[in-house]
Amino acid sequence: MNTNVITVNGHNDVLSNFHATPVSYEGHEFPTLEHCWAYAKAKKNNLPEEAKKVFTVGHGGKAKQLSRRMDSLISEDWETLSVDVMEELLIKKFDESPFFRTALLETGHKVIAHSVVDSLWGNGLSPELSMCIDPAYWPGENQFGKLLAKLRHEKFYQNDPEINTDIADDSDSDTEADEMKLSENENLSEMVPNVENDNNDNSATIVGETQEKNGKKTEIDKLIRKARLQFTPTRNLPQSPNRRRRATSTPPNTRNNKSMKADEIETQDASVTVSKENVDMVPTSQTSQSKGLT
């Protein structure tokens, strides 16, 4: 976490435009600096009807919505003039509000991040991400945060040699970021030969290990084939597909049981035949005697 960054966000923050700090502008007093900003935007772009609507909106969020609706009606040079207008309004707030002055002084020499998703006035990040990402890599321009830092420098630290001039001057911060990237590229270029040598050594080691594993695998495959040959039956009769299907569908002992039952039936038939032959061979006298006895 970057402890050299302080964030500005929300209506509870005194440094925010949404905070309920009255600001006067052109004879009118506005409840927040956001109301004052919307009125100045309408007046600078010759939009009197929109300027009247500023007095009818409630909190700062409504004033911001009204200001956003003016974007399709403003002049082309407003984007370059808007930064100067905002600086003028911040100076008025600084002169009129002791709470604003105290809050700005308490920021010390830290980088002020306007943590809102806005490419011009904010840094384009949430307060949490603003504390984790280096200011040189913020996606937004953070113009509001830079104006607060510039005002702090001019009012409190004009003669302080330890002031962080990178905040107030964009060119210095960009130059420093470019120098950091250049030094990183130089360090990487120096490390490239060593990386290539390491890659060559690693590739040779990997190739050797792969060849050794392949050799062991070939030996294992030979042993498996040899074992299969030893336990494979010497006579393998080809089977028809129907026979294979029947063999797989019926249990292995079913055919043996059927053959055993067939043998029993044959023996029973044979015994019955034998008994009939014995009856035929008995003399008739004996048969008649047996009948008389009955």
The number of distinct structural domains making up the chain is: 1
* Interval 180-186 mean pLDDT: 54
Is residue 32 one of the residues assigned to a domain?
Answer: yes
| Number of residues in the chain | 294
Q: Grade residue 256 by pLDDT with cuts at 50, 70 and 90.
A: low
Say whether pLDDT at 236 is over 90: no
Is residue 268 one of the residues assigned to a domain?
Answer: no
- Residue 204 has what pLDDT? 54
Helices (H) and strands (E) in the chain, counts: 12, 4
Is residue 287 one of the residues assigned to a domain?
Answer: no
Residue 146 is part of which domain span? 5-163
Say whether pLDDT at 12 is over 50: yes
Find, among 140, 99, 148, 95, the residue nearest to 121 by Cα. 140
| Beta strand residue intervals within 5-54, DSSP E | 5-8, 23-25, 28-30
- Residue 54 has what pLDDT? 95
CA 127 to CA 237: how far, in whole Å? Answer: 80
**Lowest mean pLDDT segment, chosen from 10-19, 177-186, 202-211, 281-290:** 281-290
Q: Kindly state the tokens that stand for 93.
A: 């707030």
Is residue 244 one of the residues assigned to a domain?
Answer: no
- Residue 241 has what pLDDT? 52
CA 268 to CA 262: how far, in whole Å? Answer: 10
Say whether pLDDT at 20 is over 80: yes
* Spatial contact of 73 and 48, defined as CB atoms under 8 Å apart: no
* Spatial contact of 110 and 2, defined as CB atoms under 8 Å apart: no
- Angle at 293 (CA atoms; ends 287, 294), nearest 5 degrees: 90
* Spatial contact of 37 and 67, defined as CB atoms under 8 Å apart: yes
- Residue 56 has what pLDDT? 93
Q: Look at the block and give the residue holding tokens 């929109």.
A: 50
Residue 35 burial by Cβ neighbours in a 10 Å radius (0-12, 13-18, 19+): buried
Residue 90 burial by Cβ neighbours in a 10 Å radius (0-12, 13-18, 19+): buried
Say whether pLDDT at 291 is over 60: no
Domain of 159, CATH number, reads: 1.10.357.40
Is residue 70 one of the residues assigned to a domain?
Answer: yes
- Residue 294 has what pLDDT? 38
Is residue 271 one of the residues assigned to a domain?
Answer: no
Q: Grade residue 158 by pLDDT with cuts at 50, 70 and 90.
A: confident
Is residue 177 one of the residues assigned to a domain?
Answer: no
Q: Which residue has the higher pLDDT, 19 or 232?
A: 19
Say whether pLDDT at 16 is over 60: yes
Is residue 17 one of the residues assigned to a domain?
Answer: yes
CA 120 to CA 139: how far, in whole Å? Answer: 10
- Integer CA distances (angstroms), 223 to 214, 215, 226, 227, in order: 15, 13, 5, 6
Say whether pLDDT at 78 is over 80: yes
Say whether pLDDT at 290 is over 70: no
* Interval 21-40 mean pLDDT: 95
Q: Which residue has the higher pLDDT, 112 or 243?
A: 112
* Spatial contact of 15 and 148, defined as CB atoms under 8 Å apart: yes
